[in-house]
Amino acid sequence: MPRLRHNVSPSLRFHRASGQAVVTLNGRDIYLGKHGTDESRAEYERRIAEWHASGKQLPKAPADLTLNELMDSFRSHAETYTDST
């Protein structure tokens, strides 16, 4: 993978097979919607801003949630909800 110059952002490109706009950040293709639309350009700008803000790294995904953790969280929520009614 080529190294980018310090002040250059990855380019917005056309993905021919899907007709979508795409940008590659840290080796990962991110699809932004139909190529040539204002929405895809706005999504590109948002993703590039996030990428620059996080030190040119993709934002970390939240940790996976187990089923038990989800049930415990829901039970806590349900108890506070039913106690207040």
The one-letter amino acid at 28 = R
Spans of all domains in the chain: 13-83
pLDDT at residue 69, as a whole number: 87
81 band by pLDDT with thresholds 50, 70 and 90: confident
54 band by pLDDT with thresholds 50, 70 and 90: confident
For residue 57, pLDDT over 60 is answered with yes
Task: List pLDDT tens digits, range 5-31.
Answer: 667 789 999 999 999 999 999 999 999
> What's the token pair of residue 46?
């948002």
DSSP output for 11-67: PPEEETTTTEEEEEETTEEEEEEETTSHHHHHHHHHHHHHHHHTTSSPPPPPPPPPH
